[in-house]
């Protein structure tokens, strides 16, 4: 970790921006992550990115086996700069990747023997899967899931829009995570890497500036 480089680059930021990075990173986690499977409406995926950013979830996995679209920047409201979006061309690869990283696969569905958000155990790393607007999650996700969760509702409507479901789910689960005794925050290495990443995004012509810094270190 090149702390001298980070210190140099952060000298180009205002003190307020540096303090804001520190404050936001205190609430960031990879203990919970999110995956959306072939969401058709572009604004729904963009809204989920915004929810991830708002509630401190650093990673979003977007499965584009059927529907591949760009991020709607207007709806994401700049959140795509602060959330790491990982794209997958098929569902099985996404599931395999997440399992390899130690995540339990959690399917959101009202049609299985599912836990409510209140009942769900957040002590283990969890990847929360949300499905298509009309069909919901594919059978591949349902078969691979380690557990299932749903949002209890008392009206005639059986389901919510995916962007609304994601916001409610993340707000609730992240509240549980942050009030628990588990180690949910970034490691020191993750903090450094993300702070460096965000700092680079704030500086115009950052490559030239980094080259100048590297040259100055070589001369020493």
Name the pTM for this structure. Answer: 0.89
Contact 72, 46 (CB under 8 A): yes
Torsional sign, CA 134, 97, 28, 147: positive
Same domain membership, residue 144 and residue 46: yes
Give pLDDT, residue 185: 97
Instruction: Give the CA angle between residues 26, 83, 115 to the nearest 5°.
Output: 80
Contact 126, 106 (CB under 8 A): yes
> Are 160 and 206 within one domain?
no
Beta bridge partners of 88: 63
For residues 78 and 53, membership in a common domain is answered with yes
pLDDT of residue 46: 85
From the list 130, 129, 138, 127, the residue with the least C-alpha distance to 66 is 138
Q: What is the mean pLDDT of residues 19-23?
A: 97
pLDDT digits (tens, 9 = 90+) for 24-74: 999 999 999 999 988 767 778 888 999 999 999 999 999 887 655 555 555
Domain with 176 in it:
29-184
217: Cα within 13 Å, side-chain hemisphere = 11
Question: In terms of pLDDT, which residue wins out, 97 or 220?
Answer: 97
For the chain, percent of residues with pLDDT exceeding 70 = 91
Q: In whole numbers, what is the pLDDT of the chain averaged over residues?
A: 89
Looking at residue 160, what is its pLDDT?
Answer: 78
The answer on 129 and 69 residing in a single domain is yes
pLDDT, tens digit, 9 for 90 and up, residues 71-85: 555 544 567 889 999
Instruction: Tell the residue number behind the tokens 């836990």, with chain if given.
Output: 115
Per-residue pLDDT tens over the stretch 109-124: 877 678 899 999 999 9
Domain match, 66 and 115 both: yes
The total number of structural domains in the chain stands at 2
Residues 211 and 104 both lie in one domain: no
Q: Quick one: pLDDT at residue 220? A: 66
Same domain, 195 and 177: no
- Residue/partner pairs of 41-46 with CB below 8 Å, 24 or more apart: 41/133, 42/69, 42/70, 42/71, 42/72, 43/72, 43/75, 43/163, 44/133, 44/161, 44/162, 44/163, 45/69, 45/71, 45/72, 46/71, 46/72, 46/73, 46/74, 46/75, 46/76, 46/80
Cβ atoms of 76 and 85 within 8 Å: the answer is no
Section 138-164 average pLDDT: 87
């Amino acid at each position: 970790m090149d702390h001298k480089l980070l210190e140099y680059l952060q000298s180009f930021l205002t003190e307020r921006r540096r303090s804001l990075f520190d404050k936001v990173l205190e609430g960031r986690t990879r203990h919970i992550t999110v995956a959306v499977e072939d969401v058709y409406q572009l604004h729904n995926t963009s809204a989920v990115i915004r929810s991830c950013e708002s509630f401190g979830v650093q990673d979003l996995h977007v499965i584009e086996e059927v529907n591949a679209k760009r991020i709607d920047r207007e709806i994401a409201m700049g959140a795509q700069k602060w959330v790491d979006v990982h794209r997958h061309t098929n569902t099985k690869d996404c599931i395999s990747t997440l399992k390899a990283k130690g995540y339990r696969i959690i399917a959101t569905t009202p049609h299985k023997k599912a836990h409510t958000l209140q009942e769900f155990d957040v002590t283990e790393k969890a990847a929360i899967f949300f499905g298509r607007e009309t069909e919901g999650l594919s059978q591949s996700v349902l078969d691979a899931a380690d557990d299932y969760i749903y949002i209890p509702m008392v009206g005639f409507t059986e389901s919510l829009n995916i962007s609304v479901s994601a916001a409610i789910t993340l707000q609730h689960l992240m509240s549980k995570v942050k009030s628990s005794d588990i180690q949910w925050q970034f490691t020191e290495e993750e903090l450094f890497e993300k702070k460096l990443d965000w700092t680079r995004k704030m500086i115009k012509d950052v490559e030239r500036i980094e080259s100048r810094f590297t040259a100055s270190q070589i001369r020493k």
